[in-house]
Amino acid sequence: MDAKPKKVKRPMLSNIRFIWGLMWQNDRPYCFWTVLEVITGVAQAFFIVYLPKVAVDLLTQGVPARALWLTLGGFTLCMTLNGILYGRVYNASYYRFNGVRSVYSYKLFAKTMTDDYQTIESAEGQKRYQLARSANDSAWGGWGSAINITVD
């Protein structure tokens, strides 16, 4: 009987911990920029959704025009400043990520390509290896060239 390969459980939380561990190890400020990007992005969505509600509430309450324009103007100013901050934070986070993307990709790739020799040397293992290599060659723009393992 053929022994079935063990399925390795990799829950989502484990993957997130792995990526954040890599980020912390290789580029700690990137962790800060990522958290700030999430916070400003959520705040921007809040402003976009909440602005019409504030306007309608003020109009239905019969607030004087001056108070209406000051409130909506202040709200819009906060929304604009948050949008500018979000744009800056997004760009900083994006450029920092591009600086270390190859490190993350390589380490993730190496982590997923570990296997025992018994599986690799079997006929089924060789078939899977060739399928993976052809998929990598065609889909990932040359990442297959990173797999130069030949098992005789």
DSSP per residue over 68-94, as a string? HHHHHHHHHHHHHHHHHHHHHHHHHHH
| Cα separation values, 146 from 18, 72, 140, Å | 21, 56, 11
Quick count: other Cβ atoms within 10 Å of Cβ 101? 10
Contact 90, 37 (CB under 8 A): yes
| Cα separation values, 23 from 32, 37, 39, 97, 109, Å | 10, 15, 18, 9, 16
Q: How far apart are CA 24 and CA 16, in angstroms?
A: 12
**pTM for this predicted structure:** 0.55
Give me the tens of pLDDT residue by residue for the chain, a chain 152 residues long.
556 666 666 677 887 888 788 888 878 888 888 889 999 999 999 988 998 898 899 889 988 999 989 999 999 999 999 999 999 998 888 887 776 667 767 776 776 666 677 777 888 878 877 777 666 555 445 544 555 444 43
Q: How far apart are CA 105 and CA 29, in angstroms?
A: 19
